[in-house]
Each structure stands twice: as structure tokens, then as C-alpha cells.
Structure 1
């Protein structure tokens, strides 16, 4: 049975997979970007939890990251549309079906990356905070 952390990350990946861009989880950057863009969800860092007793509960503010990338002509508009679609997917259900207390994305910091022999990339890391509670840090 998957842990709450894994269930939440899988739900976020499923939400990203519904977008037009290709969504991967924890994979390496492929040699070629898909035409609609690429998203790579990184598991991130759950950080130190706040602990409450009676009942024992661990409250996490888990920072995960989405690497968003587009390539080719019109990449500025495509990148903007991709980021907006990520925001809309998160805003549609900020609890991921009741799995999280709250999901909040931060603004991306885009960069243009030159690619030798190809069109440059526009990419950014989009931090996403997952707020959730679990009864055991390993379960």
C-alpha cells in the first residue's frame, strides 16, 4: 500500500498528465522535447514536520518541483500557456481529491537556454508546496 506522500505525488503527476504537455516523474531530460512541451515532476523535499501529540501527527510542508520546458518558435507564448495550464490544474482542486490540506504553486523564474544546432529552450522550475498530515513519517 503506498504511503500518503507517494499517493499525493502520484495524484499531482496524474493531474499534470492531463495537460497537453508530456508529463514525466523523476525522469532525466530526453534528447528531444515534445512539441507541446515537457513537464518533469521532482519528488522534492518533505522537510522537517511539525509534530502534534494526541493523536501523534506529522504536518508536512513538502516542497516539490515541476520542471517546465518548451522549445521552438513562439516559445514565449507556449511557455506562458503551459504555466497557466499548470496553475489552472492545481487551482481546480487544491486538495488533490482530499489527499492534501492545500497545494500551492509559486511563480516560475524562466530562463532561455541555448541548444547547439537547435532552437533554444525556455524553461523554469516551478516550486509546488504540498501541505499534508500523516500519522507516521515513513508510512
Structure 2
């Protein structure tokens, strides 16, 4: 049986997988970036939970990360479209079907990366904060 954390990360991956960009989870950057862009979900860090005692509950603000990458001559516009689509996908269901109390993305800090012999990349890490509660830190 998967843990709450794994179930939530799987739901987040499913949420971004409906976008036109290719969505991977925990993979290395491939040699080629698809024309619609590339998203790589990183599990991130659950951090130290706040704890309540009656009943015992662990309240997390888990920081996952989505790496967003586009390539090509119109990368500024493509990147803007891709990040806006991530925001819209998260806003459509801020609880991931009731698995989280709240899901929110933070603003990306894009960088342009030169690639020898190919069009430049535009990429950013988009932190996504997952607010959820579990009865045990290992489940």
C-alpha cells in the first residue's frame, strides 16, 4: 500500500501529465526536449512537520519541484505558455482530489542555457508546496 506522500506525488504527476508537455517523474534530462516542452517532477523535501497531539497528526508543507524546460527559437513565449498551463492545472483542483489540504506553486526563476550545436533551452524549477496531514510520518 503506498504512503500518503507517494499517493500525493503520484496524483501531482497525473495532474501535470494531462498538459501538452511531456511529464516525467524523477528522470534525468533527456538528450532531446519535446517540441511542447518537458516537465520533470522531483519528489522534493517533506520538511519537519508540525505535530498535534489529540489526535496525533503530522502536518506537512512538502516542497516538491517541477523542472520546466523548453527549447527553440520562440522559447520565451513557449515557456510562458507552459508555466501558465501548470498554474491552471494546479488551480483546477487545489486538493488533488481531496488528498491535500492545499497545493500551491511558487513563481519560477527562469534561466537561458546555451546548447552547443542546438537551439538554447529556457528552464526553471517551479517549487510546489503540498499541504497535507498524516497520522504517521512513515505512512
Q: TM-score range by the shorter chain?
A: over 0.9
Identify the residue that residue 126 of structure 2 maps to in structure 1. Answer: 126
Give the number of equivalent residue pairs.
139
Gaps of 5+ in 1: none
Identify the residue that residue 72 of structure 2 maps to in structure 1. Answer: 72
Deviation at 1:73, TM superposition (A): 1.4
DSSP-derived class of the 1:126 partner: strand
Deviation at 1:122, TM superposition (A): 0.3
Identify the residue that residue 2 of structure 1 maps to in structure 2. Answer: 2
- Report the TM-score when normalising by structure 1: 0.99
Identify the residue that residue 23 of structure 1 maps to in structure 2. Answer: 23
CA distance in 1 between partners of 2:92 and 2:81 (Å): 16
Gaps of 5+ in 2: none
Deviations along 1:44-67, whole A, 9 cap, x unmatched? Answer: 000000000111100000001000
DSSP-derived class of the 1:2 partner: coil
- Report the TM-score when normalising by structure 2: 0.99
Q: Which runs of 4+ in 1 moved over 4 A?
A: none
Identify the residue that residue 98 of structure 2 maps to in structure 1. Answer: 98
